[in-house]
Amino acid sequence: MGAMLGPVSAWEDRGVERSGTLPSDWYTSQELHDLEQRTLFREVWQCVGRVEQVAEPGQFFTCEVATEQVVVARGRDGELRAMSNVCLHRGGPVAMGCGTRKAFQCPYHGWMFELDGRVRRTQGMEGTLDFDPASMRLPQFHVGTWGPTVWVALEPTAPLDEWLAGITPRLACYPLDELRFVGGRRWEIDCNWKLYVDNYMEGYHIPFVHPGLNQSLSPSVYTYELGRYSNEQYAAEPHPRGPGSRVAGILGGTQEFRELKPPLPGLDEAQQSGYYFTWVYPLTTVNFTPDGILMFTVRPLAPERTESRFMWWLPEATSFKDSLLQAALVNFGHLVNTEDYEICAHAQRGMRSQVYRQGRYAAKQEMCLHHFHQLLAAQMRPHLEAWDAERATPSPLPNGNGHGSHPRSVVPR
């Protein structure tokens, strides 16, 4: 596989026209997956839920960020917090699921915590010496909101507003007060998270994988823009057709979809007639459409297993026709992701091939893919170099009892 950097093959960036894509072991290595969890995913912002879930004091939901168990809660003081969801006694969960509470109680031994993380009660600990529950508090993480969503980072390298600066202006035209969360769907996909993100980074595959979507987009209007922590692809919709054209035909005879379902008011001309596919490094996408907003988040589960979650925000339906047209949009979006799911699973098997090492970028169509690989490689390089340095350090000599010391972690946190 050539030169190695950490547990994987080194990737050389010579520009989109000359570079090879990420080597195949970046998509299969257990060691790299573990290293990403200890480093990369602690340093980036991740979309973890919806603002409406924690709009009122006492509301909370639980999630996982870089293998850390997290509870996001609105305190009695109105402040939004992200805290460790690990009880300070024996590691049980402080909270489970989502809902509304006046305080959290670990189901393991009954320790209770205030909504701001302070310990309220530690029944059964009487007689324990040098124990001061008043000094104990759940560790807190960084949390913020953007539009209708909540974001968490454990050890961020930049503030949230800077992280999302590239896509925030696109949100300005959307009437958030009039959009409603209408649900979504969850998939588990047999591929590495990077391969699934790669697939989102280009429209090159659309004519071959998505025949329905291909009919809804104009290949002559497909543009790209690269940002610091994001990139954006734009595809024009051949107005007045759209992904719900078949349903429109059933409802209105010869009427086209956009005649029955006009774009949201207030959008600019490009937003009314096309789709902005935006990606936030490394695990979140926001699709700005003429009908509303679709977001999906990616969560790495294993080297070759990934979770994808879709969330839709659309105007409240005021008639059966509106409900049916919205259902057509959502169903179409889920169909497109199922098509992606299937091709990504096939491509993941290809990454295991003994005769495939890496591909080449389609220079005029895969600029965003190359951009993703640039950002990822730059952030992972120091961690991969530390991985190498750790293994180059001689093992400690055995102690006087003839036993060696315990090995250190790969990247101490």
Considering only CA atoms, which of 31, 30, 9 is closest in space to residue 21?
9
pLDDT at position 213 is 76
Q: What contacts 191, CB < 8 A, 6 or more positions away?
A: 27, 304, 305, 306, 344, 345, 347, 348
Find, among 81, 73, 64, the residue nearest to 104 by Cα. Answer: 73
Q: What is the pLDDT of residue 243?
A: 53
Q: Going by CATH, does the domain composed of 46-146 fall within 2.102.10.10?
A: yes
Give the Cα separation of 192 and 347 in Å (integer): 10
Please tell me the predicted confidence (pLDDT) of residue 273: 85
Residue 384 has a pLDDT of 97
- The domain defined by 1-40+170-387 folds into Naphthalene 1,2-dioxygenase Alpha Subunit; Chain A, domain 1 (3.90.380)
The helix-helix angle for 320-351 and 193-200 (nearest 10°) equals 120
**What does the pLDDT read at residue 101?**
97
User: In angstroms, rounded to a whole number, what is the distance separating the alpha carbons of residues 232 and 333?
Assistant: 18
Q: Which of 376, 348, 361 is nearest to 195 (CA)?
A: 348
Choose among 5, 78, 1, 117: nearest CA to 388: 5
pLDDT for the residue numbered 399: 57
pTM: predicted TM-score of the whole model, two decimal places: 0.90
Residue 337: strand, helix, or coil: helix
Report helix angle 30-38 to 367-392, nearest 10. 90
Average pLDDT for runs of 10 along the chain of length 413: 88 97 98 98 98 98 97 98 96 96 95 96 88 92 98 98 96 94 95 97 88 71 89 77 52 61 89 92 96 96 97 94 87 88 96 97 95 98 94 67 39 32
Torsion angle in degrees (nearest 10) through CA of 117, 120, 121, 122: 40
Q: On the CB side of 131, how many CA atoms lie within 13 Å of its CA?
A: 12
For position 395, what pLDDT does the model report? 64
Instruction: Give the Å distances, CA to CA, from 246 to 65, 294, 382.
Output: 40, 21, 51
Instruction: Provide the 10 A C-beta neighbour count for residue 319.
Output: 8
Question: What was the pLDDT predicted at 409?
Answer: 32
> According to the model, what pLDDT value does residue 55 have?
98
Residue spans of the domains in the chain: they are 1-40+170-387, 46-146
